[in-house]
Amino acid sequence: MHSVAIAGIGETEYSRASGRSETRLALDAILAALADAGIDRTEVDGLMRWSVDTTGEEEIAANLGVKDLKWFGEVNQAGNVGAALVTHAAAAIHAGLANVVVIYRGVNGRSGRRYGRGEVTGRRGQGGSAYTEPFGLLTPQHNLAMLSRRRMHEFGTTSRQFGWVAVSEREHANRNPRATYYDRPLTIDDHQDSRHIVDPFRLFDCCLETDGGGALVLVSAERARDLQQPPALIRAAVQAGYSERSFVDTAAVSTAPRLWAQAEVRPSDIDVVQIYDHFAPFVIFALEDYGFVQRGEGGPFVEAGGIRWDGGTLPVNTSGGHLSEAYLQGMNQMIESVRQIRGTSTSQVADAHLSFCDTGIGTGAIILERDR
């Protein structure tokens, strides 16, 4: 994938009530990303989106004035498909099927459809949900809490260690003026004193609900080098389908070997990490299942300050992540991953060359590289 780069990033403000449609949010983000890249809107010939979103590519294309949309599509599952979309878009550009592919989303995740609510995510007992929903497992939180409880049992990970994920990310958000929780500090006691939602998850283990939009512009690496931003080269991009349900493993068990082989680097080569933190413990589990640390070591690593920008050896979720910046389901974290390559993060890791971004419980990840 070395031949493709992310050349533009764009986002709207993050809020609890955007006051505008999801299409408007998506368009605002796309225009910002195209302006960032220095590419005219009429050059866009590819569009890709999350299948859970409401804004179709034809509506976006019509608004942008795209005359010949050569590549479009969506990836099914849930919020966890950011890396899969990058994989698809990069493959299309690499194959010469499109030249300028925009990955976009606009969501009213707080004022509109709320992903944490059973009436939104429930499938009314149909299909596989016949074996879970009748017992009250109605939201993603329920199923992820179940896995988390078992991992706590097997590896000794504690709620307090979950709390250090939340506190570390909040420190990063407190340095990021775009973050929802920019001006609100969080202590470990705040976390431990917060109420349970689905036990073992406490309030501050849970991600935000956000209205906002985001967009990425992908072009060939060759083209990107002539544009106005330093290119973020796609060193590797992988996706994974769900396999048989495990209550212990994340999908990183299958993506990690492919990711590291494709990138031809090791976890210890990575300078900065973003991880899909819909729930705080998944930072710990992802660090373990991608091989940054051994299983059982993720909790102690976090507790010792390992993921903090200030003093940590592997800063994670440097914009504040889904817990404290915004919950755009991977989009805001991919944008932050690009910022780290450009050197423009509010919690910039010095001289970052390799930037890792998981976009959902191991079901996909990208590694970005600074051009040399």
Partner 1 sequence: MTSTTPESTRPDFPLPVPSEDGAPFWEHLRNGELRVHRCTACGRLQHPPRLMCVQCGSTERDWALMSGRGTVYSFVITRQALHPSFEGHIPYATVIVELEEGPRLASNLIDIPVDEIAIGMAVRLEPTAVSDEITLPLFRRA
Contacts with partner 1 by CB under 8 A: the residue count is: 38
| Distance in Å, CB of 146 to partner 1, minimum | 5
Q: What are phi and psi of 88, to 5 degrees?
A: -65, -45
| Tokens coding 65 | 């004035």
d(CA 34, CA 21): 20
d(CA 146, CA 361): 14
| Distance in Å, CB of 246 to partner 1, minimum | 10
Point out the catalytic residue in the list 104, 115, 181, 276: 276
Q: Quick one: which of 118, 156, 257, 343 contacts partner 1 (CB under 8 A)? A: 118
Active site residue 115: no
Q: Quick one: which of 5, 147, 265, 334 contacts partner 1 (CB under 8 A)? A: 147
Q: Is 131 in the site for partner 1 (CB under 8 A)?
A: yes
Q: Is the Cβ–Cβ distance between 327 and 356 less than 8 Å?
A: no
Q: Is 200 in the site for partner 1 (CB under 8 A)?
A: yes
d(CA 90, CA 235): 11
Cβ-based burial of 143 (10 A; exposed 0-12, middle 13-18, buried ≥19)? middle
By DSSP bridging, strand 354-358 and strand 364-370 are antiparallel
Which of these segments, 94-102, 130-138, 214-222, 301-309, binds partner 1 (CB under 8 A)?
130-138
The residue among 130 and 261 lying less far from partner 1, judged by its C-beta, is 130
Q: Inter-axis angle of helices 82-94 and 331-342, to 10 degrees?
A: 60
Active site residue 327: yes
The residue among 247 and 343 lying less far from partner 1, judged by its C-beta, is 247
Q: Quick one: which of 38, 128, 257, 343 contacts partner 1 (CB under 8 A)? A: 128
Q: Is the Cβ–Cβ distance between 6 and 231 less than 8 Å?
A: yes
Q: Is 116 in the site for partner 1 (CB under 8 A)?
A: yes
| Distance in Å, CB of 190 to partner 1, minimum | 18
| Distance in Å, CB of 155 to partner 1, minimum | 13
Q: Is 146 in the site for partner 1 (CB under 8 A)?
A: yes
The residue among 35 and 248 lying less far from partner 1, judged by its C-beta, is 248
d(CA 24, CA 111): 15
Q: How far is CA 329 from CA 250, 261, 265, 304, in A?
A: 17, 26, 26, 27
- Residue numbers of the site for partner 1 (CB under 8 A)? 116-119, 122-139, 141-142, 145-147, 149-150, 153, 195-200, 244, 247
Catalytic amino acids?
A: 276, 327
